[in-house]
């Protein structure tokens, strides 16, 4: 993935005219309608606001955009845009959301060119870095006017990162098991959560390896099972009994005996293009994000990689 930014600052995508203060508590539809209308009025006079609003609402239905700390980032990829456009809605009274119990006070509407797939993630990281402190969110939420907001943002120098990295793509919520855990724990995760591979960590959450669906199949359904098939001519029960016995025995096998160690790994700041190349070269469906001590920080699945780059 090619780098798409060279010292670009977030404030270059919007101005005082793109900020709206609302002391009421609008509905989600009215909120988004007002922000989309503002962007169209200020920057896209030849575009129908309803068309963009439909795209934003469609994206909202696919997944949550509230990132916590009183911040929401509704967005959409729009064909034909020459650059990203941002509108900021400030709601001091807080807008309730079904995604969190914390009222949303800042809503950044992001309209991203369809031809710039990484831009949303770059803007997201810049905003997340700036707004990770609750005091900063409150300071902006209770600003007196748009000029004061822009003064603070420009002074903070919200520079977009030069490239998308593992930290932008990974999920920090994942299943894991220990090396001494029985394979039945991995089987449960496969059956209940449709996981294809489960990481194995030690007591300090350091990555040791992983067990995948192929290793699990080898343990629970032995390859030599076919030699019992002739018995099926008279009575199928013996074959199923052998299979059931093998499966019950496999429940107690320690995960370490089915563990593979040739994993695709990276660090938080590894560029996305390198992650993609490593996963392709190793035919991997997951990449594990670790620190220098091999603590497991997050997981990037192939499906998640595609979704973040092409859909989110």
257 is catalytic: no
In contact, 138 and 69? CB cutoff 8 Å: no
**154: Cβ–Cβ under 8 A, 6 or more apart, which residues?**
9, 11
* The residue to which tokens 């449960």 are assigned: 188
Contacts of 247 (CB under 8 A, 6+ apart): 220, 221
Of 75, 248, 257, 295, the active-site residue reads 75
CB under 8 Å to 225, separation ≥6 — which residues?
Answer: 239, 242, 243, 246
Q: How far apart are CA 272 and CA 275, in angstroms?
A: 5
Return the half-sphere exposure (C-beta side, CA atoms, 13 A cut-off) of residue 302.
14
Q: Name the residues annotated as catalytic.
A: 75
């Amino acid at each position: 993935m090619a780098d798409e930014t060279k010292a670009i600052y977030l404030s270059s995508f919007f101005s005082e005219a793109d900020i709206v203060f609302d002391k009421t508590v609008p509905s989600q539809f009215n909120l988004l309608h007002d922000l989309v209308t503002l962007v169209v009025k200020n920057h896209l006079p030849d575009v129908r606001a309803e068309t963009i609003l439909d795209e934003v609402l469609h994206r909202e239905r696919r997944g949550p955009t509230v990132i916590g700390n009183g911040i929401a980032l509704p967005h959409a990829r729009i064909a034909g845009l020459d650059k990203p456009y941002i509108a900021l809605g400030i709601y001091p009274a807080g807008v309730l959301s079904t995604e969190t119990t914390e009222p949303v006070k800042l809503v950044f509407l992001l309209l991203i060119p369809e031809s710039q797939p990484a831009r949303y993630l770059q803007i997201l990281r810049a905003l997340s870095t700036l707004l990770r402190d609750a005091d900063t969110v409150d300071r902006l939420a209770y600003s007196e006017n748009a000029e004061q907001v822009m003064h603070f943002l420009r002074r903070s120098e919200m520079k977009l990162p030069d490239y998308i990295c593992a930290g932008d793509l990974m999920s920090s919520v994942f299943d894991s098991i220990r090396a001494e855990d029985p394979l039945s724990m991995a089987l449960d995760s496969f059956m209940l959560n449709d996981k294809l591979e489960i990481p194995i960590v030690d007591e300090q959450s350091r990555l040791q390896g992983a067990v995948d669906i192929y290793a699990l199949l080898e343990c629970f359904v032995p390859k030599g099972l076919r030699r019992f098939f002739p018995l099926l001519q008279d009575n199928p029960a013996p074959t199923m009994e052998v299979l059931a016995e093998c499966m019950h025995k496999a429940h107690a096998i320690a995960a370490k005996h089915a563990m593979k160690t040739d994993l695709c790994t990276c660090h938080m700041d590894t560029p996305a293009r390198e992650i993609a190349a490593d996963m392709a070269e190793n035919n991997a469906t997951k990449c594990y994000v670790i620190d220098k001590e091999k603590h497991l920080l997050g997981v990037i699945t192939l499906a998640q990689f595609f979704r973040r780059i092409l859909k989110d």
